[in-house]
Structure 1
Amino acid sequence: MKTEDLQKVVTLKYQNGDYPTKVFLDLNVVIRLATIKRWYKMIDETGSINLSLPPGAPRTARTSAAIKKIKKKLQKNYVSTRTLAIDLGISHESVRTILREDLRCRPYKHLIEPALTEEHKEKRKKFANWIRTNFRKEETLKILFSDEKMFDIEGVYNTQNDRIWAATRDEANQKGGIHQKKKFPLKVIVWLGVCSKGVSPLVIFEQGTVNHDRY
């Protein structure tokens, strides 16, 4: 049932003297009881149901002017919600609400991809065409793809998300709030190969790099 039809039914039942609770039950709970009561109040005050204006107090932060300013600033590559809040003189949460609900935007992380030049792309195309021309499918199954990666023995420490709840800084330090890091941490290189038969065992180089002889 459309909203206009529901408004007509509620208005008719109001004129018949039905209470909001009875209307709520008669409509088989297709509309909230709070909405029916709000519509009854509109009929009492104006004689009809007028939904041209949103319910509640008028907006003080999510105004059309603020929405237009934020939409204009979104044309830049990087926009900070906190900076927008300071510039517009509204709360940080109001800015996030405008972005999400009024402008239908979502926060996306930066994607990391190789910085390929046109020369790199052309060489990759030539290599792919060379493989297709000079290798049969059975021969391509014998190709081994390999790569190596250097790992820090101390691991990765996230200063933003790793938090310790404590009453004082001293108490936090006693709970392990100090993370010590060496100036030159130990590192190892891990080598791995992949082919049509599966993945090779991990090869760990605790010293040195993978040069031509070691490969």
Structure 2
Amino acid sequence: METERLTIIELYRKGKDQSEILKILNIPKTRRKFVYRTINRYKDTGSVSDKPRSGRPASVTTTRMRKIVRGHVWRNPSRSVRKMAAELKVSRSSLQRIVKRDLGLSSFKKRKVHYLSKVMKEKRLKRSKGLIDRFAIQGLDHVLFSDEKLFTIEEAYNQQNDRILSSTASTITEEYRYVKEYRNHVLLWFGLEYLHLAGLQ
């Protein structure tokens, strides 16, 4: 029976559905549930063996699946559990159990950062050293530090939620019907030069 189960799973992993497996192996309809249970057990546990008792070691199939998952993660740690489960033809819950419990892995969110390539880092380092050498001689008396910020002083337009109540579109006045492409705004500029304010606009 164990050999028969392994054959069923082998066909399942090759993309055969349950009806095709029944025909290929010439399994009578009276044993149809056996095929269904075998495939479902494999999808849930990654094994074709009966459910292990307490303290019983993991099956060879589970150990093999653990190695396969470890290899997938090593090659591409950003691959989702859902995609791996689909590729390996196992249930998502089984794969999550292997990843968290057996492999001791956790899921972390990617963070948005300003990416600096090796060339960009080298340029920044070169320029920084040049500024240090320059200011070591001239000092900071004539260095202007500035920043600016653009503030919109009108309410932002939300295409999804901004609606107008009216009986017909033709009765809506231009004041409410149209939205300007460019909103009114104010630019705030600030500069500081050697302990005194250089400008504010």
Q: More relative contact order in 1 or in 2 (CA 8 Å, sep 6+)? A: 2
TM-score, with length taken from structure 2 = 0.41
Query: Relative to total residues, which structure has the larger helix share, 1 or 2?
Result: 2
TM-score, with length taken from structure 1 = 0.39
